C-alpha cells in the first residue's frame, strides 16, 4: 500500500498537536504554515507590554518537528514542514494550493485558526491595534513606547494627554490581561525612565459591550476583576460599544468621544476561512460546521479543528488552546481509524478549567465548579503557561523575565524597532 499523505494546514496549538500525534503513525505528514514559527498566543500580550521578547514565545517549527524524532521511536518520523501560505483547497483533486506549490493529500486537517473581526466599526481596521499575531504584538509595543517618548517631548497639554490615553476595546481575557499589565508597566519602576513626565496622567480605558468583564466565567470572577482593575486605575466602561476609531480618538455609541492615540482591539474574532473548490457548511463567524468526529459535513477525509471549527458540546466551545490541543489528538486518532477502515469517533472535550491573570499577584480561575481569585489563580496561571510553553530554553527565559518583571516591577524589553 502507498504511504498515506496527510496535510495539516496551520501550526497553531491544534495543527502542531495533530502533527505530533501522527509523528509515529508511518504516514507521510506535511505541516504547512505561513510563518516558520509557532506562536504561543496566550503570552502575546506580554510581548506587547514589554515583558517578554518575541523570540521567547515564538518557537521555530523545524525545531519542534526535530523533537518528534526521539531515539526511542520505532518508525522514522516522516513529518515535513512547508513554509507557505494556503491559497485554496481543491476537494475533487485532493490538492492544497499554496503560494509556493501544490500539495496532494489523502487526508487534510485544517487548523488555520482565527483572525481579528472589527464588527463593522468605521476606522477600526485602519487605526486600531489588533493583537493576534507576533507582528501585531510588536507593532503595539512600538506604539506604546513611541507614545511615551512623544508625550515626554510634548509641550501641548492636550496632545500629551491624548498620547497618554490608551483605550482597550473588549473585556474578555485578552483585554483584561493587557489592561492589568499595561497599567502596572506605566505606573511601576518604568516611570523612572521619564522623570519629566507625570505618568499619573496616564488614562487606561477598557470598553466592554456586555454588562460585565470575562463574560464566559462565573459572575463572581467578573466582579472581582472589575474591582481589581479599578484599584489599578483602569477606567471601565460596561455596556458600551465603540462606533468609530480615528487616529486621534475613539467614538462611543453614546456619542462620547475619547481623545486617545492608541486603541487596542481585542473585541472580535472570526475564523480564517479557506478558499475551496466546493461549498462547505459554515456557522456564525465563518466557522466550519463539522461532525462530532471533526470531519467536514461534505468531505469525510477533511477535518477542521480549533478556532476554525464549529462544534457544540452542550454549548459552543470557547476557542481556547486546550480545546485545539485535544481536538488535535482526536483527529490524529480518527485518521488512523479511517486508515484501518474503521469509523471515526466523536470528539469529547474535557474541560480542565480556565484561568486569567489581572496583574501582579492576582488572577481568576475556574476549575470544575470551583471558582477562585487572587494569588493562587495568579501562580497557577504562570505555572500552567510555563509548562505548556514549548522548549526548555523558552521556559527558562520566560521564567527569568517574569522574575525580573514581578520582583523588580520593571520592564526589560524596550526597543522601538520598525516592523
Burial class (CB in 10 A: 0-12, 13-18, 19+), 155: exposed
The residue count for binding a copy of itself (CB under 8 A) is 40
> Rule CB under 8 A: is residue 149 a binding residue for a copy of itself?
yes
Task: Tell me the window of 124-132, 193-201, 298-306, 317-325 that interacts with a copy of itself (CB under 8 A).
Answer: 193-201
Contact status, residue 363 vs residue 381, Cβ threshold 8 Å: yes
The residue among 163 and 271 lying less far from a copy of itself, judged by its C-beta, is: 163
323 Cβ contact list (under 8 Å, min separation 6): 306, 317, 349
Q: Is 177 a catalytic residue?
A: yes
3-class DSSP assignment, residue 400: helix
Q: What b/e sequence results for 212-249 when a residue is b if at least 16 CB atoms lie within 10 Å of its CB, and e otherwise? A: bbbeebeeebbebbbebbeebebebbeebebbebeeeb
> Rule CB under 8 A: is residue 192 a binding residue for a copy of itself?
yes
> Rule CB under 8 A: is residue 357 a binding residue for a copy of itself?
no
Of 177, 216, 256, 323, the catalytic one is 177
- Cell numbers representing residue 125 in the block: 481596521
Task: Tell me the window of 178-186, 208-216, 349-357, 409-417 that interacts with a copy of itself (CB under 8 A).
Answer: 409-417
Q: How far apart are CA 414 and CA 208, in angstroms?
A: 29
Contact status, residue 145 vs residue 327, Cβ threshold 8 Å: no
> Rule CB under 8 A: is residue 194 a binding residue for a copy of itself?
yes
Cα distances from 336 to residues 23, 36, 246, 304, 328, in angstroms, run 12, 27, 52, 16, 13
Task: Tell me the window of 1-9, 191-199, 243-251, 356-364 that interacts with a copy of itself (CB under 8 A).
Answer: 191-199
> Rule CB under 8 A: is residue 193 a binding residue for a copy of itself?
yes
C-alpha angle 53/57/60, rounded to 5°? 115
312 Cβ contact list (under 8 Å, min separation 6): none
The residue among 278 and 415 lying less far from a copy of itself, judged by its C-beta, is: 415
Q: Closest distance between a copy of itself and the C-beta of residue 48, in Å?
A: 15
Interface with a copy of itself (CB under 8 A), residue from 55, 235, 248, 270 = 55
Interface mask (CB under 8 A) for a copy of itself, residues 114-143, using x and -?
Answer: --------------------xx--x-----
DSSP classification of residue 294: S
Burial class (CB in 10 A: 0-12, 13-18, 19+), 409: middle
Interface with a copy of itself (CB under 8 A), residue from 119, 145, 159, 382 = 145
> Rule CB under 8 A: is residue 83 a binding residue for a copy of itself?
yes
> Rule CB under 8 A: is residue 53 a binding residue for a copy of itself?
yes
Interface mask (CB under 8 A) for a copy of itself, residues 366-405, using x and -?
Answer: ---------------------------x--xx--x---x-
Residues near a copy of itself, by CB under 8 A: 35-37, 53-55, 58, 60, 62-63, 66, 80, 82-84, 100-101, 134-135, 138, 145, 149, 153, 192-194, 196, 393, 396-397, 400, 404, 412-419
Catalytic residues: 177
Amino acid at each position: 500500500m502507498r504511504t498515506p499523505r496527510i496535510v495539516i494546514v496551520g501550526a497553531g496549538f491544534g495543527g502542531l498537536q495533530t502533527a505530533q500525534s501522527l509523528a509515529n503513525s508511518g504516514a507521510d505528514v506535511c505541516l504547512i504554515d505561513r510563518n516558520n514559527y509557532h506562536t504561543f498566543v496566550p503570552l502575546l500580550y506580554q510581548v506587547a507590554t514589554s515583558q517578554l521578547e518575541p523570540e521567547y514565545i515564538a518557537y521555530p517549527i523545524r525545531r519542534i518537528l526535530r523533537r518528534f524524532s526521539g531515539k526511542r521511536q520505532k518508525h522514522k518520523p516522516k513529518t515535513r514542514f512547508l513554509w507557505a501560505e494556503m491559497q485554496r483547497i481543491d476537494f475533487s483533486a485532493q490538492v492544497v494550493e499554496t503560494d509556493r506549490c501544490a500539495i496532494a493529500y489523502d487526508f487534510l486537517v485544517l487548523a488555520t485558526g482565527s483572525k481579528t473581526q472589527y464588527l463593522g466599526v468605521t476606522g477600526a481596521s485602519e487605526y486600531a491595534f489588533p493583537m493576534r499575531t507576533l507582528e501585531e504584538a510588536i507593532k503595539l509595543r512600538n506604539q506604546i513606547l513611541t507614545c511615551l517618548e512623544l508625550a515626554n517631548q510634548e509641550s501641548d497639554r492636550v496632545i500629551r494627554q491624548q498620547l497618554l490615553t490608551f483605550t482597550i476595546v473588549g473585556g474578555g481575557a485578552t483585554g483584561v490581561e493587557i489592561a492589568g499589565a499595561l497599567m502596572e508597566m506605566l505606573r511601576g519602576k518604568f516611570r523612572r525612565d521619564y522623570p519629566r513626565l507625570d505618568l499619573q496622567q496616564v488614562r487606561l480605558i477598557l470598553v466592554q459591550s456586555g454588562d460585565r468583564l470575562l463574560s464566559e466565567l462565573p459572575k463572581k470572577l467578573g466582579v472581582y476583576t472589575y474591582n481589581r482593575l479599578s484599584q489599578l486605575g483602569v477606567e471601565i466602561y460596561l455596556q458600551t460599544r465603540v462606533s468609530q476609531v480615528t487616529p486621534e480618538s475613539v467614538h462611543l455609541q453614546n456619542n462620547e468621544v475619547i481623545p486617545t492615540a492608541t486603541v487596542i482591539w481585542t473585541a472580535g474574532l472570526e475564523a480564517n476561512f479557506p478558499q475551496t473548490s466546493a461549498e462547505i457548511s459554515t456557522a456564525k463567524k465563518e466557522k466550519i460546521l463539522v461532525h462530532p468526529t471533526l470531519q467536514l459535513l461534505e468531505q469525510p477525509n477533511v477535518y477542521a479543528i480549533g478556532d476554525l471549527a464549529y462544534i457544540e458540546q452542550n454549548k459552543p466551545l470557547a476557542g481556547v488552546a486546550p480545546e485545539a490541543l485535544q481536538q488535535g489528538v482526536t483527529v490524529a486518532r480518527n485518521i488512523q481509524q479511517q486508515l484501518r477502515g474503521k469509523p471515526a469517533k466523536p470528539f469529547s472535550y474535557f474541560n480542565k478549567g480556565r484561568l486569567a491573570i489581572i496583574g501582579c499577584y492576582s488572577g481568576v480561575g475556574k476549575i470544575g465548579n470551583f471558582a477562585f481569585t487572587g494569588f493562587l489563580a495568579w501562580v497557577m496561571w504562570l505555572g500552567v503557561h510555563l509548562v505548556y510553553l514549548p522548549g526548555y530554553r523558552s521556559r527558562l527565559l520566560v521564567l527569568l523575565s517574569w522574575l525580573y518583571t514581578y520582583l523588580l516591577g520593571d520592564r526589560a524589553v524596550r526597543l522601538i524597532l520598525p516592523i
